[in-house]
Chain A
Amino acid sequence: MKTLSRIYAIFVARNREFLRDRGTLAWNIVLPVLLVGGLAAVFAGDGRDQYTVGVLQAAGTEIAREAHPFLQTRYVEFVPMADNAAALRKVERHQLDLLVALGDPVRYWVNPDSPRGYFIERVLLQSGSDAAIVREDVTGDPIRYVDWVLPGILGMNMMFSCLFGVGYVVVRYRKNGFLKRLRATPLKPAEFIVAQVLSRLLLILAITAFVYTGTHLLLDTRMDGSYALLLLITVAGAVSLVSLGLLIAARVNSEELAGGLLNMITWPMMILSGVWFSLESAGPLVQKIAGMLPLTHVLDAARAVMLDGAAFADVWHHLAWLAVMSAAFLAIGALIFRWTPG
């Protein structure tokens, strides 16, 4: 009870501080809206500038370009695909312009509603091969770039808000002596940390929900899965990112250093977690690094739910990963937490 009362006191005060700082609050809402709106306008199409063709073949094998003249076409990105169902879904969603399986006969799948599919199909048929060829139709609505990028932008906003909003604030509290003042009360580090996590969690959920609803209504973005599951992913993601912010701020005394460290963490996630573009065709090392970043799991899970209608069973491993990371960040953060500048 005493612990709850102390956590609640700090939680309420932090919420008030954040909500009354109108400038920061407005920025937290305006930035993602501007980004989504701007991107929707700029990339009115699907945001890709070259054709992408999936090649069905065994996992881990290189594409044998000499096997068919079509595979030697320039300005086409050929992506090896091992999972038949996943590859077909991409054709459905217009994420792949065409899917081809070499053999006798050569089979290919194309979406008749996709203009890009139509063009690349002409290229395939006129590539000069004598091999028999069989066409299969796959139908489905395209995924616009804005559908794909929306989770990325919301996730990025969440990441900045969680990391900077908590990390910076804790360092500022430490530097100006507010933490020292709290240290002189019965408040424990874990209670302080939990209050900060809860406060930021509530605020970021409210902001993300607000921006999502606005964008969804305005741009009619795609949502194929369950909102409850999406909420769960958002909560798990926010907790892991806030925890990471707290871990970084656990001992740092200077805002400049905290800023540097936070940038060091946020930029790799901006680039490698798939905020702006898909990393499916990236090398295995990049994929491995991306897999260690919390934002990657948030975005992969959110996109699976929003774009492919994934269920809990499809994304639980992302949630588990986020939970493990949060627990580790919080435990280490509470352990090394320092109230006063060293």
Chain B
Amino acid sequence: MPFALEARDLVKRYPGVLAVDGVSFGVPDGVCFGLLGPNGAGKTTTVEIIEGVTPATSGEVLYRGEPAGSRFREETGIQFQATALQDYITVRETLDMFRKLYDRRADLDAVIDACSLGDLLDRDNRKLSGGQRQRLFLAVALVNRPRIVFLDEPTTGLDPQARRNFWDLVKRIRKEGTTIILTTHYMDEAQVLCDEIAIMDHGRIIAQGTPDELLRSRYPGLIIEVPQKDVIDDLAALEHRVLDEAGVVEIVASDVSKALADLGPAVRTLNHIKIRQPTLEDLFLDLTGHSLRP
């Protein structure tokens, strides 16, 4: 099956910095593809090259098998990470203006409804809250009935409730068959929304696959967390992997019973242990070096 979108060997070099270093991936139609990575990993640059906003130093972007051109522009919707709208213009006027820039035009009422903007239509863009702005940006990205939607860190700065509402919205769009490319550094967001992910660091993709595949290959079992202060013996003797993180020792256990038996003599008590499924957060921290870079 040809990809809806394909990036081939993208390179972006700024003076003294290699921001994107040979990134390639393909996105099948109808999936939600997540591009993850710490801040400064090159996600936004990669996505902006694909969107046609930033020129690549080398490499190519194919849309449905052809070099991305005017058809791509007509059929994509983009929500940028940092952008602004005109002052003194209302939500309805903003949507109407952007809609008129396209030949493909969505039913505006449906977009307004989907993004819950009904009560805000006559409000000046300047008077929107963070969550309301994000919903408007998403609505702007949907005014042309896009076949692909790019969402660049769409929930950064939103409160937990606004984030969850936004996720519901994205799921609804995804259900309608729209392909979604999501960049985020929130692993829970990727886990909830993405069918497939690629993790970037230092301008390269360091892991790619479905979240399940990636987690299974890296963590063949559950994770046992033990507070570091309870550890009285050297855990390195155990056959399990140890991940130090914020005063907690994490042990990846393929056989939990055996792991607990081995762990017993090495800790003061088992009363404070936690056993949980591995998450993308674990994978991300593991792959990118255990710390979220600012």
Contact = CB atoms under 8 A, between A and B. Distances in A.
Contacts of B101: 6, 9-10, 182, 185-187
A339 B54 CA distance: 10
Interface string A159-199: 00000000000000000111011111111000000000000
Interface residues of B, number: 29
A20 B99 CA distance: 22
B167 interface: no
B80 A17 contact: no
Given A183-B53, A184-B51, A186-B70, A13 B86 contact: yes
Interface string A2-40: 100110111011101100110000000000000000000
Contacts of A12: 97
Contacts of A17: 86-89
B84 interface: yes
A184 B88 contact: no
Contacts of B103: 2, 186
A208 interface: no
Contacts, number: 74
Contacts of B82: 177
Assign chain A's interface to a size class: 20 to 34
A10 B89 CA distance: 12
A10 B99 CA distance: 11
B102 A184 contact: no
Interface stretch (B18-26, B71-79, B206-214, B284-292): B71-79
A14 B52 CA distance: 25
Interface string B84-108: 1111110001101110111100000
Contacts of B83: 176-178, 180-181
Contacts of A215: none
A122 to B, nearest CB: 63
Given A13-B86, A13-B93, A6 B100 contact: yes
Nearest to A339: B53
A176 B82 CA distance: 8
A287 interface: no
A139 interface: no
B223 interface: no
A340 interface: yes
Nearest to B100: A9
B78 A5 contact: no
B252 interface: no
Given A17-B89, A177-B82, A185 B54 contact: no
9 contacts: A6-B101, A9-B96, A17-B88, A21-B88, A176-B83, A177-B84, A182-B101, A184-B52, A184-B53
Q: Which 4 A-B pairs have the closest CB atoms?
A: A176-B84, A9-B100, A177-B83, A20-B88
